[in-house]
Structure 1
């Protein structure tokens, strides 16, 4: 009789009961692992008696008196975005507003709002676009600490308000204590 190099093993033939037992064991391990989780990571804890820092809330533009004259019409906040523009850890809000005239194309104003520590009402700290300049704002965004917008305007006072004929891109960033305007670089196709 010739012996084989690998003897037949009795346990290599599985039965349905073995599959059921294996599936039950795996389900138990999965269920147990979902219950037993490690403790969450913790940041450095404040010392005894320290008050937790409150999350900074961006100023609400509906609570601001904007420097825009609308007569009997109300001020309309068309767009808003919040972010930390000056790097102080507190968010500012940038608001695009105009008079709610009902018809026509009233010019926009773009304002930066902040809330002084302890103050209940936010205030305007910078005017990026003055409504007196007769500009409309489109493609407004706040990214990476910079405000960008497309400005639609007029080449002369003879151009009707309905039909702006000048398009300009603008970018504002906080530098050396003021918002500095520049022209954003355009994306180029490769």
Structure 2
């Protein structure tokens, strides 16, 4: 057996102090990432031709006053984006909210909910779910225009795709028709 001419190097052996240093560095990164969060995104409605519906009267429902049908465990639900408009043509505004769990790391899936409140009530309530969080989608390019809800949905082609890296993109449009929200842009995800 031939021995190496290079002596053993001390740094090539793992010792407990190396594991302690690595664990400390990882803990610092996790702690820092849970403290530093990006500012909340806001959706802005683009100017366009006026909708041919009745004039909108009243205050739009406030998403902060609603309990969303979202299981978040020990963290709270966060309204990431919201937009308002008269979606059903009754002259009262509805609010559409993009909501997800306030996870300290990763990209939690979004839910998209339509809120309304009756003419005789100040209590807003969820009347429709357009995107279920269980579908593992992230909502971008979100707006309410011309009585329709528009969004781009980022998702995953298989369950094996890591949550960090959505690999599909799908444009969606929902409109109120026959007493329900109907998706008029077919689900046809394209790979990104």
Q: TM-score range by the shorter chain?
A: 0.5 to 0.7
State which of 58, 61, 74 in structure 2 corresponds to 1:59.
Answer: 61
Pairwise mapping of residues 27-42 of structure 1 onto structure 2 (< 5 A)? Answer: none
Give the structure, 1 or 2, with the largest relative contact order (CA under 8 Å, sep 6 or more): 2
CA RMSD of aligned residues (A): 1.4
Q: 2:78 — aligned with what?
A: 76
State which of 110, 113, 131 in structure 1 corresponds to 2:112.
Answer: 110
- Which one has the largest radius of gyration? 1
SS in 2 for 1:95: strand
| Structure 2 segments unaligned to the other structure (5+ residues) | 1-56, 187-192
**Corresponding residue pairs, total:** 131
Q: 2:158 — aligned with what?
A: 156
Q: Equivalents in 2 of 1:64, 1:156: separation in Å?
A: 33
Q: What's the CA shift for 1:158? A: 0.3
Moved over 2 A (4+): none
Q: 2:174 — aligned with what?
A: 172
Q: Equivalents in 2 of 1:136, 1:97: separation in Å?
A: 10
Q: What's the CA shift for 1:135? A: 0.4
Q: Equivalents in 1 of 2:169, 2:76: separation in Å?
A: 27
SS in 2 for 1:160: coil
Q: 1:125 — aligned with what?
A: 127
SS in 1 for 2:175: strand
Q: Equivalents in 1 of 2:185, 2:147: separation in Å?
A: 15
Q: What's the CA shift for 1:124? A: 0.1
SS in 2 for 1:132: helix
